Amino acid sequence: MSVSPRRLRAGAIALATLAVISTTACTAGGSGGNANDGEVKTLTVNTSFVLKTLDPGRVYEATGLTAVHALYDTLLTFEGSDVGTPVPALAESYEASPDAKTFTFTLRSGVTFSDGSPLTADDVVFSLNRLKNIKGSPAVTVSELTFSKTDDSTVVVTSATPNPNVPVVLAMPSTGVLNAEVAQDNGAKDGEDAAQGDTAQQYLDTNSIGSGPYVLSSYEPESQVVLEANPDYWGEKPQFERVVLRNMDVQTQKLTMQRAESAEISLDISGKLLDGLPDSLQTSGVQDTVYFLFLNADPAVSAVTANPKFNQALRAAIDYQGIAALYGEGAAPGAGLVAPAFPGTLPASEASTRDVTKAKALLAEADLTDPTVKFNYPAITYKGVDLGTVATKVQGDAAEAGITLELNPQPLTTFLDEMRSGKSPLGFTPQSLNYPVADSLINNMAPGQATALRSGWTVERADPAIVAAGEKVTETLDLAARATAMQQWQRLMNQSSPYIVLASNSSTVVATADLTGADYSAAGWQVDVAAVGRK
Amino acid sequence: MTMTAPDPVAPDPKVDRALTRRRWLGRLRGGSTGRPVWRQPIAVVALAILGGWLLAAILAPIVAPYDPLAQSADTYAPPSATHWFGTDSLGRDIFSRVVHGARLSIPLALAIVSLALLVGGLLGLVAGYLGRFADEALMRLTDLVFAFPQIILAMAVTAAFGPNTRNAVLALVIVSWPVYARVIRSAVLSMRGDDYLNAARLLGVGPVRALRRDVLPNSIGPAIVLATLELGNAVLLLAALSFLGLGPRPPAAEWGSMVALGSQDLSMWWVSVFPGLAILTVVMAFNVLGDALRDRLDPRYAKGR
| For range A407-428, the mean pLDDT | 89
Rounded Cα distance, B67 and B99, in Å: 11
Q: Output the pTM of the full model.
A: 0.78
- Report the pLDDT value the prediction gives residue B45, as an integer from 0 to 100: 92
The answer to whether the Cβ–Cβ distance between A379 and B163 falls below 8 Å is yes
Nearest to B267 among A275, A381, A388 (CB): A275
Nearest to B267 among A276, A325, A379 (CB): A276
Q: How confident is the model at residue B207 (pLDDT cuts 50, 70, 90)?
A: confident
Question: How far lies B155's CA from each of A34, A411, B248, B262, in Å?
Answer: 43, 12, 13, 21
Alpha-carbon distance B165 to nearest alpha carbon in chain A (angstroms) = 12
Residues in chain B within 8 Å Cβ distance of A395: 251
Point out which residues pair with A503 in neighbouring strands.
Answer: A291, A333
- Report the pLDDT value the prediction gives residue A12, as an integer from 0 to 100: 44
| For range A459-485, the mean pLDDT | 93
* A276 touching chain B per CB within 8 A: yes
Q: CA B90, A432, A516: angle at the middle one, nearest 5?
A: 95
pLDDT tens track for A310-357: 999 999 999 999 999 888 888 999 999 999 999 999 999 999 999 999
Measured in whole angstroms, the distance separating CA B21 from the mean position of its chain's CA atoms is 21
Rounded Cα distance, B15 and B20, in Å: 9
Rounded Cα distance, B100 and B98, in Å: 5
| Structural element, H or E, at residue A313 | helix A308-317
Rounded Cα distance, B64 and B73, in Å: 19
Alpha-carbon distance B23 to nearest alpha carbon in chain A (angstroms) = 24
Per DSSP bridges, beta strands A242-247 and A42-47 are parallel
Q: Compute the count of residue pairs across chains A and B with CB atoms less than 8 Å apart.
A: 45
- Report the pLDDT value the prediction gives residue B20, as an integer from 0 to 100: 54
A residues 255-274 closer than 8 Å to B (CB):
272-273
A residues 191-230 closer than 8 Å to B (CB):
none
Residue A296, classed as helix, strand or coil, is coil
Measured in whole angstroms, the distance separating CA A403 from the mean position of its chain's CA atoms is 33
Nearest to A322 among B70, B73, B251 (CB): B73
- Report the pLDDT value the prediction gives residue B300, as an integer from 0 to 100: 61
* Residue pair A236/A533 in contact by the 8 Å Cβ criterion: no
Rounded Cα distance, A448 and A461, in Å: 9
Average the pLDDT over each of A124-133, A162-171, B5-14, B17-26 and give the range with the smallest value: B5-14
Compare all CA atoms of chain B with the CA of A273 and give the residue at the minimum distance.
Answer: B265
* Residue pair A488/A272 in contact by the 8 Å Cβ criterion: no
| Structural element, H or E, at residue A284 | strand A282-295
The one-letter amino acid code at B92 reads R
Of A505, A508, A467, whose CA–CA distance to A488 is shortest?
A467
- Report the pLDDT value the prediction gives residue A360, as an integer from 0 to 100: 95
Average pLDDT over chain B reads 84
Nearest to A393 among B71, B245, B249 (CB): B71
* Residue pair B70/B259 in contact by the 8 Å Cβ criterion: no
In chain B, pLDDT over 70 holds for what percent of residues? 84
Residue A411, classed as helix, strand or coil, is coil
The answer to whether the Cβ–Cβ distance between B245 and A407 falls below 8 Å is no
Nearest-10 Cα torsion for A366, A372, A378, A379: 140
Rounded Cα distance, A470 and B108, in Å: 53
- Report the pLDDT value the prediction gives residue B51, as an integer from 0 to 100: 94
* Residue pair B64/B248 in contact by the 8 Å Cβ criterion: no
* A356 touching chain B per CB within 8 A: no
Point out which residues pair with A289 in neighbouring strands.
Answer: A432, A505
Mutate to test the interface with A, among B264, B287, B300 (most CBs of A within 10 A): B264
Could you give the strand order of the β-sheet that contains A91-96, starting from the edge strand earlier in sequence?
Answer: A91-96, A102-107, A154-159, A145-151
* Residue pair A294/A499 in contact by the 8 Å Cβ criterion: yes
The answer to whether the Cβ–Cβ distance between A393 and B249 falls below 8 Å is no
The one-letter amino acid code at B49 reads I
Question: How far lies B20's CA from each of A272, B13, B28, B120, in Å?
Answer: 61, 10, 13, 21
Point out which residues pair with A376 in neighbouring strands.
Answer: A408, A427
Point out which residues pair with A516 in neighbouring strands.
Answer: A533
* A395 touching chain B per CB within 8 A: yes
* Residue pair A216/A206 in contact by the 8 Å Cβ criterion: yes
Residues in chain A within 8 Å Cβ distance of B180: none
Residues in chain B within 8 Å Cβ distance of A276: 267
pLDDT tens track for B42-88: 889 999 999 999 999 999 999 999 999 999 888 889 999 999 999 99
| Structural element, H or E, at residue A130 | helix A121-133
Give the torsion sign (CA, A247, A250, A254, A255).
negative
Rounded Cα distance, A85 and B178, in Å: 66
Per DSSP bridges, beta strands A76-77 and A87-88 are antiparallel
- Report the pLDDT value the prediction gives residue A443, as an integer from 0 to 100: 82
Nearest to A326 among B69, B70, B89 (CB): B89
| Structural element, H or E, at residue A482 | helix A479-496
| For range B288-299, the mean pLDDT | 79
pLDDT tens track for B97-137: 999 999 999 999 999 999 999 999 999 988 888 888 889 99
Average pLDDT over chain A reads 89
The answer to whether the Cβ–Cβ distance between A392 and B251 falls below 8 Å is yes
Nearest to A409 among B71, B73, B250 (CB): B250
Nearest to B250 among A326, A392, A397 (CB): A392
Compare all CA atoms of chain A with the CA of B158 and give the residue at the minimum distance.
Answer: A411
Measured in whole angstroms, the distance separating CA B86 from the mean position of its chain's CA atoms is 31
Task: Give the ipTM.
Answer: 0.73
Rounded Cα distance, A126 and A116, in Å: 18
Q: CA A155, A158, A161: angle at the middle one, nearest 5?
A: 160
Nearest to B250 among A276, A322, A388 (CB): A388
Alpha helices in chain B (DSSP H): 13-29, 41-58, 60-63, 94-130, 132-146, 150-161, 165-190, 195-202, 207-210, 216-243, 255-263, 269-297, 299-302
Mutate to test the interface with B, among A376, A386, A428 (most CBs of B within 10 A): A386
Mutate to test the interface with B, among A393, A397, A404, A415 (most CBs of B within 10 A): A393
Q: How confident is the model at residue B304 (pLDDT cuts 50, 70, 90)?
A: very low
Residues in chain A within 8 Å Cβ distance of B267: 275-276
The answer to whether the Cβ–Cβ distance between B89 and A276 falls below 8 Å is no
Rounded Cα distance, A211 and A71, in Å: 7
Mutate to test the interface with B, among A8, A318, A389 (most CBs of B within 10 A): A389
Nearby residues of A154 by Cβ (< 8 Å), 6 or more positions away: A104, A105, A106, A107, A121
* A374 touching chain B per CB within 8 A: no
